[in-house]
Structure 1
Amino acid sequence: THSDSQEDITYLSKKIAQLRLFADEQGMMNRSVLDTQGDVLVVSQFTLYGSTKKGNRPSYVEAAPGPIAQKHYEDFVAQLEKLLEKPVATGVFGADMQVQLLNDGPVTLMIDTHQKN
């Protein structure tokens, strides 16, 4: 968004690295991507921030402008790579891409750094 900061990027990268989403030996979600030494794919998708409050066409006016968003994206990836101590797979910022994934499990989360307190 227009109001995202380096503090938000740091918070989000730490949260992603440390969030316990993966099952332990008892099947409980107690392991993070750090614990599992798993891989991470980061793909920019500004459309997630679309507003449908007014009219029938999504509005993206609250999304950060391209150059600012790209810098935030690159900073986020760099911080995540530092925390994970390995490269992070990425999409191409601002590009139309076909991303294929297999969601394994019942978990999909949206983390809003403006609601962290």
Structure 2
Amino acid sequence: MKQYDLSAIMSRAWAIFHKGGIVFAEALHRAWQSAKARPQNAAVIAAAKASAGIAEDCKTWADWKAAGYEVIHGSKALFRTVLIWASHGDGKTYTASFFGASQVQPIEA
């Protein structure tokens, strides 16, 4: 049986709701879809990373920025893969680009 972090799902639902435009029930539905898509996306990322032969830590541009780093200007993505974009509630997919730890630098204050 799968275990989900209910606190994180509820926090995500409130964040989606506060952006406006939808009722809370729809925000909660989208938060659950996003939580359910996370394991599938992680498996797809691992497979794409392995097929590209990448050993270093890789994240998207947004994930690096959230971690306090910026991608060095002109860096090309190490690999790309198609992921499920579940937080919009429609189950559409998007192509995510991943950059390695050697392609980032700390954000200067």
Q: Fold match, TM over 0.5?
A: no
Higher-RCO chain (CA-CA 8 Å, sequence separation at least 6): 1
Please give the TM-score of this superposition, normalised by the length of structure 1.
Answer: 0.30
Q: Which has the higher strand share?
A: 2
